[in-house]
């Protein structure tokens, strides 16, 4: 089955700096790549996603890049703020259906 690896598992950055989280996947049929942010006591919240026909997508301070040849995608957060502290998950979906396969998560701590 699909396997998704996410790195790093923890990330500590100074407020204002950038944070980058990387994921690799195994199934070349995967075509949808969402990122979720999970805060303590809450369910994962969709923050940005990208489809296989696009190489990059940006939404204010967050951006996602996709390299289908290398089968990896990354989340970039610029100008980090304390409220960005959370656990971030990457995920993939194959062409049909809604089954999300998640990476292991990255705990991000933004220090003021």
Q: Interface residues with another protein (CB under 8 A)? A: 31-32, 34, 36, 41-46, 49, 89, 91, 93, 95-105
* Minimum CB distance to another protein, residue 43 (Å): 4
Q: Which is nearer to another protein, 7 or 32 (CB)?
A: 32
Neighbouring residues of 89: CB distance < 8 A, sequence distance ≥ 6: 6, 35, 36, 37, 38, 44, 102, 103, 105, 106
* Minimum CB distance to another protein, residue 5 (Å): 11
Q: Which is nearer to another protein, 42 or 112 (CB)?
A: 42
Q: Which is nearer to another protein, 97 or 112 (CB)?
A: 97
Residues 28/2/20/15 CA torsion (nearest 10 deg): 150
* Minimum CB distance to another protein, residue 45 (Å): 7
């Amino acid at each position: 089955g699909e396997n998704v690896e996410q790195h790093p598992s923890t990330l500590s950055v100074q407020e204002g700096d950038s944070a980058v989280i990387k994921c690799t996947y195994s199934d070349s049929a995967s075509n949808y790549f969402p990122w979720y942010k999970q805060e303590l006591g809450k369910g994962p919240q969709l923050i940005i996603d990208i489809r296989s026909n696009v190489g990059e997508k940006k939404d204010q301070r967050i951006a996602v890049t996709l390299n289908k040849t290398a089968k990896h995608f990354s989340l970039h957060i610029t100008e980090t703020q304390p409220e960005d502290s959370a656990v971030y998950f990457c995920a993939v979906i194959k062409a049909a259906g809604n089954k999300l396969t998640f990476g292991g998560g990255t705990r991000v701590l933004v220090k003021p």
